[in-house]
């Protein structure tokens, strides 16, 4: 090989090496123009919304005054009590219905399907009104010959709201529980059967503990929704947070101020429940792989 050819090959080799050498290029950071644009629009919109409320005809002193008033606090307590009781009963109804839905007995299965179809297919406010006005079709309620009482006396706003909310919630919780039970491997059922464990005992000690990881997140969301759904009980005169706020603004005409007060308390309760839900989810997700 001549000297000229060697020099040419060496020059070509250096040129090829320089083509893959990134140190010779200037680093230019990527420009996210779309991201910057939409972030700017959102910030401007939030600023405009805050400014509109700040300059609007809202008496902020009334919000501070009624935020801790006795009527609002009692309404808040009634809301929490109703949400806890209705959710507890709803979970009981849901677990029973889910077990019936998965039963080999066709009567139990069809009853569970009908219950779920009926109470998920009608509006909750309609169910509350039906329970509250039950005396229009059943003046008395009880067991003939043993005890009877006037339905009007029994079906108070508290009882009607509790029945309406819990039975409606049970129809939704049943599907959540059923999904959790179906998520457990069938080998767990077979293993429990192989050692002679009864079906209900296997559900309580083996299947349900494993299904809780799937059940807890949606049930937690349902509980948060229940806190807000208690506001529908105001139509049957149950003294919850929104109903008491309405009674106050009917008297002083401070509608927006009292609605903001109710909204603040709803947000406070939901924030606490969301924190508790996340802690509970982490507890049941231990040993299940990556945590969210």
Q: Along the 292 residues of the chain, how does pLDDT read in single tens digits?
A: 555 666 676 766 666 666 655 666 677 777 788 888 899 999 999 998 888 877 777 787 888 889 989 999 999 999 999 999 999 999 999 999 998 998 888 999 999 999 999 999 999 999 999 999 998 888 888 777 777 888 888 889 999 999 999 999 999 999 998 888 887 777 776 777 777 777 777 777 777 777 778 888 888 899 999 999 999 999 999 999 999 999 999 988 888 889 999 999 999 999 999 888 888 778 776 655 444 4
Residue 49: other Cβ atoms inside 10 A: 10
Residue carrying the six token digits 């464990």: 197
Please, where are the H alpha helices in 56-156? Answer: 60-66, 70-101, 106-120, 124-132, 151-154
- What pLDDT does residue 55 have? 74
CB atoms < 10 A from the CB of 117, how many?
11
In a 3-state reduction of DSSP, which class is residue 274? Answer: helix
- CA 126 to chain CA centroid, nearest Å: 21
Element (H, E) at 9: helix 3-19
At residue 148, what are phi and psi to the nearest 5 degrees?
-145, 150
- The pLDDT value given to residue 183: 79
| Structure tokens given for 261 | 């007060």
pTM comes to 0.77
Gyration radius (Cα) of the chain, Å: 31
Instruction: Say whether 148 sits in a helix, a strand or coil.
Output: strand
pLDDT value at residue 2: 57
User: For 20, how many CA atoms within 13 A lie in the half-sphere containing its CB?
Assistant: 4
- Is the four-CA dihedral 179, 183, 186, 190 of positive or negative sign? negative
What is the separation of C-alpha 265 from the centre of its chain, rounded to a whole number of angstroms? 17
CA-CA distance, 269 to 267, in Å (whole number)? 6
């Amino acid at each position: 090989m001549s000297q000229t050819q060697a020099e040419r090959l060496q020059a070509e080799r250096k040129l090829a090496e320089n083509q893959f050498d990134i140190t010779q290029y200037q680093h230019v950071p990527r420009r996210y123009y779309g991201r910057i644009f939409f972030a700017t629009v959102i910030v401007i919109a939030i600023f405009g919304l805050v400014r509109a409320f700040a300059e609007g005809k809202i008496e902020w002193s009334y919000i501070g005054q009624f935020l801790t008033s006795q009527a609002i606090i009692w309404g808040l307590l009634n809301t929490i009590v109703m949400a806890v009781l209705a959710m507890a009963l709803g979970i009981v109804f849901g677990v029973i219905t889910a077990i019936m839905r998965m039963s080999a007995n066709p009567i139990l299965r069809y009853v569970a399907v009908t219950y779920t179809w009926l109470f998920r297919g009608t509006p909750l406010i309609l169910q509350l009104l039906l329970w509250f006005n039950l005396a229009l079709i059943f003046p008395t309620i009880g067991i003939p010959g043993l005890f009877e009482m006037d339905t009007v006396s029994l079906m108070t706003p508290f009882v009607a709201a509790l029945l309406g909310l819990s039975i409606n919630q049970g129809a939704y919780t049943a599907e959540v529980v059923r999904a959790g039970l179906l998520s457990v491997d069938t080998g767990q059922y077979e293993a429990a059967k192989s050692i002679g464990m009864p079906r209900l005992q296997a559900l309580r000690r083996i299947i349900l503990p494993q299904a809780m990881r799937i059940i807890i997140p949606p049930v937690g969301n349902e509980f948060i929704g229940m806190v807000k759904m208690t506001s529908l009980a105001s139509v049957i005169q149950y003294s919850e947070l929104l109903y008491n706020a309405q009674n106050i603004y009917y008297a002083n005409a401070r509608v927006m101020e009292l609605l903001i007060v109710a909204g603040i308390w709803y947000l406070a309760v939901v924030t606490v429940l969301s924190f508790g839900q996340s802690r509970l989810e982490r507890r049941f997700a231990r040993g299940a792989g990556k945590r969210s």
